[in-house]
Structure 1
Amino acid sequence: MRFDGQVVAITGGGSGIGKETATRFVAKGAYVAINGRDIGKLEAAAREIDPSGQKVIVSAGDIADPATGAALVEAAVSRFGKLDVLVNNAGVFNPKPFLDLTEQDYDWYLDTILKGKFFTAQAAAKAMKEKGGAIVQTGSMWAIQAIGATPSAAYSAANAGVHAMVRNLAIELAPYKIRINAVAPAVVETPVYNTFMTDEQVKETLPTFDAFHPLGRNGQPGDVAEAILFFASKEASWITGTILPVDGGVTAGRQ
């Protein structure tokens, strides 16, 4: 199989894009360690992904704390003997006008999205430096293009930092044969929207964004997961430092 025997660590692996990515890695032969803040959600996801309990382990904690990323990497290496791939997927999102943003909002985005990915990537690179590996970050279309309907200055700034980190680490980590790339999704239907809207609001609001994408629909977790798996695979062995929009054509332009 495509990832037979490989070991993958995934942040934000309990739901949405992270969970779908973990599911597809396991289906293609990988062993996976998933991170998230909610241990109950993680354990339920692990059972769903791998009912045997042999191929998925969990490591709970807030990724904004550098110790959490280090613990995830250590859990993967201790249980499965190595680390081949890190998927730095954890993130947060809650649109709010710039004039209403507080320092607490700013810190929430920067700590979770940028600091979390930075130090988890560092921990993974230390584990990979002898034999190489791949790191895939989940960035954002909002870091490339501003959207008036979803004011997101702090969120976008944090993800722009993620994109810049990808390019810098591609150069720094190349001597260790560690590749690093990012996907930049547009509107993807995941549970993140339920963190600031009711179920009924999500049901009413998300379909209004279908037409925002030139291809006529919102993304699904699998759309992004497949791009992540490509970057992690041998087929992408000559690709590093790349930001790939997975956005239904949004950044290409408008009709």
Structure 2
Amino acid sequence: MRFEGKVVAITGGSSGIGKETAARFLAEGAFVVLNGRDPAKLEAAVRDLDPTGQKVIGSAGDIALLATGQALVDLAVSRFGKLDVLVNNAGVFNPKPFLDLNEKEYDWYLDTILKGKFFTAQAAAKAMKETGGAIVQTGSMWAIQAIGATPSAAYSAANAGVHAMARNLAIELARYKIRVNVVAPAVVETPIYNTFMTEEQVEKTLPTFDAFHPLGRNGKPRDIAEAILFLASEDASWITGVVLPVDGGVTAGRV
């Protein structure tokens, strides 16, 4: 197993991509520390992943707050003795036209997506400085290509910052044998859409995006999780500073 005995911290781990990624790391032998904003939801995810409580533990908190990322890293080190991998996955999404976006909503994107990932990565890198490790950020296809059907200027700007940050960190942290990479998903069927649409709207809307992807379907959490595990693994030991589109072919072009 690729991650036998490794310690992995995952932000935004209560559902969707984060939870699926945790399940895959767990299946490959890792110990996992999950972050989530909702304590009850996080506790349920931890129980679901590991009813024994021996290999998965939770650290609740809003990743936009610097103390939350530090607490996640500290818990990993205190409970399991080290940190080998950080998956910086927490994010928010709610398409809204540029002309209607207010300052509070703009700050919401920047604080959660960019600042949260920045300072959690900083805390993780300090913990990995002596031993090396891997940081994998979840970015976005929207930071590479604008989509008129989903107006997302602030979301895209925040994720473009995540992409640029990863390239810079890859150079700065290479001396410590810490690799930093990004996966950039297109439309992935996760509960995030339920945060701004009803269940009925989700069921009606998401299938309309299947044809948007040249491969003919929306992504599933496992599609992204597998890419994350690859970038975190020794199979990718000579890869750093990469933004990997995992998008069903969207950024390649249109059919």
SS of corresponding position for 1:92: coil
Structure 1 residue 235 corresponds to structure 2 residue 235: yes
Matched with 2:179 is: 179
Cα offset for 1:2?
A: 1.3
Cα offset for 1:53?
A: 1.1
SS of corresponding position for 2:34: strand
Structure 1 residue 129 corresponds to structure 2 residue 124: no
Structure 1 residue 114 corresponds to structure 2 residue 109: no
Superimposed CA distance per residue, residues 102-146 of structure 1 (whole angstroms, 9 cap, x where no aligned partner): 000100000000000000000000000001000000000000000
TM-score, reference length from structure 2: 1.00
Superimposed CA distance per residue, residues 143-187 of structure 1 (whole angstroms, 9 cap, x where no aligned partner): 000000000000000000000000000000000000000000000
Matched with 2:151 is: 151
In the alignment, the residues of structure 2 paired with residue 40 and residue 75 of structure 1 have an alpha-carbon distance, to the nearest angstrom, of 18
Matched with 1:202 is: 202
Query: Identity percentage over the alignment?
Result: 84
Cα offset for 1:249?
A: 0.1
Which amino acid in the other structure matches residue 29 of structure 2? G
Structure 1 residue 42 corresponds to structure 2 residue 42: yes
In the alignment, the residues of structure 2 paired with residue 173 and residue 125 of structure 1 have an alpha-carbon distance, to the nearest angstrom, of 8
TM-score, reference length from structure 1: 1.00
Matched with 1:30 is: 30
Which amino acid in the other structure matches residue 113 of structure 1? I
The farther-off stretch of 45-54 and 187-196 is 45-54
Cα offset for 1:51?
A: 1.5
In the alignment, the residues of structure 2 paired with residue 14 and residue 80 of structure 1 have an alpha-carbon distance, to the nearest angstrom, of 20
In the alignment, the residues of structure 1 paired with residue 247 and residue 49 of structure 2 have an alpha-carbon distance, to the nearest angstrom, of 26
Please provide the CA RMSD for this pair.
Answer: 0.4
Structure 1 residue 87 corresponds to structure 2 residue 57: no
SS of corresponding position for 2:150: coil
Which amino acid in the other structure matches residue 57 of structure 2? I
Which amino acid in the other structure matches residue 243 of structure 2? I
SS of corresponding position for 2:179: strand
In the alignment, the residues of structure 2 paired with residue 156 and residue 2 of structure 1 have an alpha-carbon distance, to the nearest angstrom, of 33
Matches within 5 A, 1:237-252: 237-252=237-252
Which amino acid in the other structure matches residue 67 of structure 1? A
In the alignment, the residues of structure 1 paired with residue 79 and residue 140 of structure 2 have an alpha-carbon distance, to the nearest angstrom, of 32
Q: Which ranges in structure 2 are unaligned for 5 or more consecutive residues?
A: none
Matched with 1:56 is: 56
SS of corresponding position for 2:218: coil
In the alignment, the residues of structure 2 paired with residue 239 and residue 100 of structure 1 have an alpha-carbon distance, to the nearest angstrom, of 40
SS of corresponding position for 2:78: helix
SS of corresponding position for 2:14: coil
Which amino acid in the other structure matches residue 6 of structure 1? K
Matched with 1:101 is: 101
Which amino acid in the other structure matches residue 240 of structure 1? T
SS of corresponding position for 1:151: coil
Which amino acid in the other structure matches residue 56 of structure 2? V
Matched with 2:253 is: 253
Which amino acid in the other structure matches residue 24 of structure 2? R
Displacement over 3 Å in runs of 4+: none
In the alignment, the residues of structure 2 paired with residue 112 and residue 195 of structure 1 have an alpha-carbon distance, to the nearest angstrom, of 15
In the alignment, the residues of structure 2 paired with residue 151 and residue 220 of structure 1 have an alpha-carbon distance, to the nearest angstrom, of 22
SS of corresponding position for 1:32: strand
Q: Which ranges in structure 1 are unaligned for 5 or more consecutive residues?
A: none
